[in-house]
């Protein structure tokens, strides 16, 4: 299997009991690269990233992470992947200070009885600075932070472990546009250091200039490829079931997706 590919998904099918959540999804992304997964609510975006982590059991198809079959190398691939789950689905009653949430991720790796070193503390500081969490929030309890600040802490917790692949499920929900742009340029700098990134996002516009590939999903794969070829009015309208406008500006393109009213 090709280790130059961060992720390779072949003919993926996922069922929850009798409900077919993903059908015949196939794509691969080279390493290092930045990929965005887009699609309406219930499209199967979270199901797809959970499949890559082998957190859901898919009944048909194969997934390889850096050439490793996720079914056979679950532990190995989870050590290579930093994962920021979708926040609404994460318990938020964490009775820890923001900086300790990040530190704890490191300590879990080094062992339960280990004492944090100066280097650990520096890495935690570095991660919190990179995600632009204001210093005044570092010592606040996690559940007392704003939504966007919580999101930043969860991103810091994933990057502090220095993964080879970072998967972020809607990392920017509640994060203001300026912070989104700055965090995204930081993620771009991670790519330059050899880290691949997969982001589930509803709004690609603030980050599109950093994106190498887009996967447009609605249970089936609507399109996959470079942003300019995927983000067309036809593809987006098929995915979202409504009329979508696309504005092309130089190399970048911007999608104006209205709210969907059933």
Ligand X SMILES: Nc1ncnc2c1ncn2[C@@H]1O[C@H](COP(=O)(O)OP(=O)(O)OP(=O)(O)O)[C@@H](O)[C@H]1O
CB 162 within 8 A of CB 132: no
Identify what 201 binds: Mg ion, ligand X, none; CB under 5 to 8 Å per kind.
Answer: none
| Phi, psi for residue 260 in degrees, rounded to 5 | -95, 125
Nearer to Mg ion, 65 or 201 (CB): 201
Q: What is the signed CA dihedral for 86, 88, 94, 96, rounded to 10 degrees?
A: 60
Give the max Cα distance, the chain. Answer: 56
Instruction: For residue 115, count other CB atoms closer than 10 A to its CB.
Output: 7
- Residue 117 C-beta: closest distance to ligand X, Å: 38
What residue ranges bind Mg ion (CB under 5 A)? 45-46, 86
Nearer to Mg ion, 51 or 137 (CB): 51
- Residue 86 C-beta: closest distance to Mg ion, Å: 5
Identify what 59 binds: ligand X, Mg ion, none; CB under 5 to 8 Å per kind.
Answer: none
Q: Smallest Cα–Cα separation from 130: which of 198, 191, 182, 175?
A: 182
Identify what 44 binds: ligand X, Mg ion, none; CB under 5 to 8 Å per kind.
Answer: ligand X
- Residue 240 C-beta: closest distance to Mg ion, Å: 15
For 253, residues 6+ apart whose C-beta sits below 8 A from its C-beta are: 208, 227, 228, 231, 246, 247
Nearer to ligand X, 46 or 235 (CB): 46
Nearer to ligand X, 100 or 169 (CB): 169
What residue ranges bind ligand X (CB under 6 A)? 16, 19, 21, 39, 41-47, 86
- Residue 261 C-beta: closest distance to ligand X, Å: 16
């Amino acid at each position: 299997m090709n280790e130059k590919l961060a992720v390779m998904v072949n003919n993926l099918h996922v069922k929850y009991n009798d409900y077919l959540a993903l059908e015949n999804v196939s794509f691969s992304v080279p390493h290092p690269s930045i990929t965005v997964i887009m699609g309406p609510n219930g499209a199967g975006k979270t199901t797809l990233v959970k499949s890559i982590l082998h957190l859901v059991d898919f009944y048909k198809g194969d997934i390889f992470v850096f050439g490793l079959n996720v079914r056979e190398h679950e532990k190995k691939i989870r050590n290579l992947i930093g994962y920021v789950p979708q926040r609404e689905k994460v318990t938020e009653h964490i009775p820890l200070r923001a900086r300790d949430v990040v530190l704890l991720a490191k300590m879990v790796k080094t062992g339960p009885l280990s004492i944090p070193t100066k280097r650990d503390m520096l890495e935690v500081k570095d991660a919190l600075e990179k995600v632009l969490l204001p210093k005044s929030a570092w010592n606040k309890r996690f559940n007392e932070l704003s939504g966007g600040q919580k999101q930043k802490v969860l991103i810091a917790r994933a990057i502090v472990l220095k993964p080879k692949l970072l998967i972020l499920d809607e990392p920017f929900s509640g994060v203001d546009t300026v912070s989104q742009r700055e965090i995204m340029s930081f993620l771009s700098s991670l790519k330059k250091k050899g880290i691949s990134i997969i982001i589930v996002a509803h709004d690609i516009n603030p980050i599109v200039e950093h994106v190498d590939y887009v996967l447009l999903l609605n249970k089936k794969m609507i399109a996959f490829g470079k942003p300019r070829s995927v983000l067309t009015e036809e593809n987006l309208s098929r995915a979202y079931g409504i009329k979508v406008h696309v504005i092309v500006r130089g190399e970048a393109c911007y999608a104006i997706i209205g709210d969907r009213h059933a």
